[in-house]
Each structure stands twice: as C-alpha cells, then as structure tokens.
Amino acid sequence: MKPGHGEILVAEGDVEVPEQERELIEAFRRELDAGMWAAVPTADGAGRREAEMVRSFAEIPRGAERVIFFPRAAGGAPTQQELGGALTAQEL
C-alpha cells in the first residue's frame, strides 16, 4: 500500500523456485527495512478472514498467496494547533 497509489506489486514469484525465492526474500527485506509492516491475509474453512503479521520471511505461511506491506502505525492524534482553540478551552 502506497499513499496516492494504493496497491503496488512489489515482487512476484514462486517460493519453490530458488532464484525467485531469493528475489522474494530481497524484496521482503527491502520493504521491512523501509519501515513497512507485513501482513498475510488468511481464510479458514468457515470463511472467516484473519490476518497474520510477519516479521521475517520464514514466518510467512508456505501456502500464502500474498503478503501485504503497509506503513508502520503511529499515534495519529492531531496537535493542539490542529485542534484549534476550542478544544483547549474545553480541556481547561
């Protein structure tokens, strides 16, 4: 996920092919080094959807179809200036 772009394909390949697996590992590391979080969406037999955060390539389930990278979460509260004087008065 990229601001202004949405979904971008980072890398594609088959983990069973050593050369492609190496490329996938490199791409995975590049994204994590850039400060992204990685998650694998999963589904169970009952149709329930879950997600699994992965911190290394080895943690990715072998049968996973995709890994989604997204920017790391950060506390998103606006500053006092953004909130304006009204809230400051309210807090007082």
Partner 1 sequence: MLALGSASLVLIVLVVELALPKMWRMLVARRAHRNRVGIERSGYDPGRELRAEQRARELLCSCLNDEEWEMYRDLGFLRVWGALTGRPDPRSGMRTPQESAAEADYAYLIYPHRPIVAYLPQTGALLNEYCVAFPDRSKPYGSERLPASDDVLAKWMALRADERRLISEANMHLPGRQVDPAMLRRDLRSLARWERERLSRHGRRAEAQASQDPAQSEQPQS
Nearer to partner 1, 21 or 40 (CB): 40
CB of 19 to partner 1, least distance (A): 28
The secondary element (H helix, E strand) that includes residue 53 is strand 49-54
Determine contact, residues 52/37, Cβ cutoff 8 Å: no
Please give the residues from 10 up to 29 whose contact with partner 1 meets the rule CB under 8 A. Answer: none
DSSP 2: B
Under the criterion CB under 8 A, does residue 41 sit at the interface with partner 1? yes
Residues in touch with partner 1 (CB under 8 A): 1-7, 34-35, 37, 39, 41, 43, 46-53, 68, 70-78, 87
